[in-house]
Amino acid sequence: MKLLSIDLFSGVGGLSEGLRQAGFDTKLAFEIDELASKAYSINHKKVKVITKDIRDVDIAEVRKLLNNKTIHLLAGCPPCQGFSSIRRLNRAEPVEDERNSLINEYVSFIEGLMPYTFMMENVPGLSLSPDFHKAIKELKKIGYEHIVYKVVNVKDYGVPQNRKRLVMVGSRLGPIQIAKPINKKVTVREKIANLPKPEESSDYFHKIFPKHTHRIQELIRDIPHDGGSRKDLGASRQLKCHQKENVGFNDVYGRLRWDDYSTTITGGCLNPSKGRFLHPEQDRCISAREASLLQSFPIDYKFPSDAPISKIALMIGNALPPEFCKIQVEEIKSHLYFYLNG
């Protein structure tokens, strides 16, 4: 049985890579950002990418593109930045952001296409939203009686990264569940220790990492290897912006630990002032290739070479980890085979 899928809010294709590895045939992807869409197309040449605002997409036209076939899985991650812990600074209330309502567009696609199953991944804070619970009610009304959601950590699914995600799956076929953890610890060492030094690499994306002033480079050099922090340097060597109380995050200018999970790879992952993104022993920030490997992308995954470093970091940090997605959709694949193959 050929399993058909579409990817909403696809970004650079982390979810689609997981779908591909799990055996799904993704027919369409939707992404508003031109550079992210370009990255997607570089890596998923057989998928038709629609680069426009999802709110301007005519679902009737989508049905035509699918030849009116019923898709097996509609998957996606509607941007809901107002519910992220970084934007909320750990407050309970979400931050006002027009993208918070994009979950309603996700529901509209499900209503218009009626896939057998759907999967949504998002930030844990989305469960605080009335729109999220309204969406569940709407979906149950149209036949998706079996819906479950749960906050999980990608580190429990073979990804070398501490990153919590809200996963919601639903089916109109029968009871469905979220994939159970595989309990296989993958560390920073396993993912990036065997890479050559950037200056010795032929990989363009391994050469992408920030350069610093002499003062900052000296500070980085003196931070202890394998998990050290700026706080190890003593109060006198803290940057002025870090000397005030309750300013900044404790992990900035921190090193990753070889035999542990990475910190969450965010859109600031190529800037050590944004988090614990220093290499465990080399005196530099992690490279774009290392960041993508910690997100569990294949080593040959590509990004637009003409994109600025800040944009590459954002594309990598905003992506869904493919290995995590693969395991989640393999669970859905088993569900589909059970109900559709008898």
**H-helix segments, 22-144:** 34-43, 59-65, 85-88, 102-113, 130-141
pLDDT, one tens digit per residue, over 49-102 is 999 999 999 999 999 999 999 999 999 999 875 554 444 445 455 544 444 578
User: pLDDT tens digits for 97-147?
Assistant: 444 578 999 999 999 999 999 999 999 999 988 999 999 999 999 999 999
| Mean pLDDT along residues 171-188 | 96
Query: What domains lie within the chain, and their CATH numbers?
Result: 3-182+320-340 (3.40.50.150), 188-318 (3.90.120.10)
Q: Which amino acid is located at 153 in the chain? A: N
C-alpha distances (whole Å) from 305 to each of 82, 196, 198, 266, 268 are 30, 20, 16, 20, 18
- pTM of the predicted structure, to 2 decimals: 0.91
**Catalytic site positions:** 80
Residue 26: left (phi > 0), alpha (psi -120 to 50), or beta?
A: beta
